A = this chain, B = another copy of it.
């Protein structure tokens, strides 16, 4: 669906998630100017119908909307607060939508810094993985003022299926932290169930079907069980990134005085898998850890 109001959008961070999101915005009729640290991703955006920028400042200078999708809190701080960053370059009134998953306290600080320069800022982390990004069906948890979130909604609706305003600046990141706790745990539980069933000689294809029909059903089971059964662990969403996210949620829980026994436990297991050298695999590779811990590795 092409928009009646084409907007110049700077899109910073064209990785597994950012590239298809930027593609959907191009398809919707927007003028998308892309920047990425490594150049090939920018070239692919140009082939897709976007324009190339050589730097963050180059991308942002004439943009009405800036979307960032970068790996971690320091990356958002760099591109937002740096000398040639978004807030040093953007026109007053520019809307910055940060889709990265970062610490809620950093999101609040970045938003405050943007506001001081006259830039409107919302945190809008996403869930749904590579498949959700490609399908434009992401679930997006948005923090910011009601006015700024409404301004961001037309762009978020292009890439998301469920877009919900959950609270003030940083609240999107808090909900995303909870999301990452649930996702990591659900994957680990499915991994334990599959290894358990295999060890008992049960047909896991039939088992997965019937598990999905009852109270054990989940999006993780629908999207990840087949790949786990086939031992296909190409990312997807890398263990390295989920490890980073579980650092955020365990710190944010501790800060609020909340005890998260399973969340903390799965954070250790993800850390273990990473320490074993599997940080580049999809998070569903937690199955490998359960196999190793059960003496069933090949």
Which chain A residues have a beta carbon within 8 Å of chain B's beta carbons? 104, 126-129, 132, 138-141, 161-167, 171, 174-175, 177-179, 181-183, 185-186, 188-190, 192-197, 199-203, 206-207, 209-221, 223, 249, 252-253, 256-263, 265-266, 269, 290, 293-296
Which 7 residue pairs of A and B lie closest in terms of their CB atoms, listed nearest first?
Answer: A127-B214, A162-B213, A139-B214, A139-B213, A218-B218, A199-B256, A164-B210
Q: Say whether A202 contacts B174, CB under 8 Å.
A: yes
Q: Say whether A166 contacts B207, CB under 8 Å.
A: yes
Given contacts A127-B210, A218-B219, list 19 more A-B pairs with CB under 8 A: A104-B200, A127-B214, A139-B212, A139-B215, A166-B203, A166-B210, A171-B203, A178-B194, A178-B197, A182-B211, A185-B262, A199-B253, A199-B256, A200-B252, A214-B219, A218-B218, A218-B220, A257-B295, A262-B269
A258: which B residues are within 8 A, CB to CB?
A: 192, 195-196, 199, 290, 294, 296
A206: which B residues are within 8 A, CB to CB?
A: 164-167
A209: which B residues are within 8 A, CB to CB?
A: 162, 164
Known: A202-B171, A219-B217, A295-B257. A262 touches B211 (CB 8 A): no
A266: which B residues are within 8 A, CB to CB?
A: 262
A197: which B residues are within 8 A, CB to CB?
A: 174-175, 178
A269: which B residues are within 8 A, CB to CB?
A: 261-262
A259: which B residues are within 8 A, CB to CB?
A: 290, 293-294
Nearest opposing residue in chain B for A217, CB measure: B219
A186: which B residues are within 8 A, CB to CB?
A: 182, 185-186, 189, 216, 218
Known: A192-B262, A252-B200, A262-B188. A213 touches B161 (CB 8 A): yes
Q: Say whether A260 contacts B196, CB under 8 Å.
A: yes
Can you name 7 A-B pairs with beta carbons within 8 Å? A167-B203, A178-B207, A181-B189, A182-B189, A183-B216, A218-B219, A262-B269
Q: Say whether B214 contacts A132, CB under 8 Å.
A: yes
A276 CA to B214 CA, complexed, in Å? 28
Q: Say whether A202 contacts B214, CB under 8 Å.
A: no
Tell me, rounded to whole Å, the shortest Cβ–Cβ distance linking A204 to chain B. Answer: 9
A104: which B residues are within 8 A, CB to CB?
A: 200
Q: Say whether A179 contacts B214, CB under 8 Å.
A: yes
Nearest opposing residue in chain B for A199, CB measure: B256
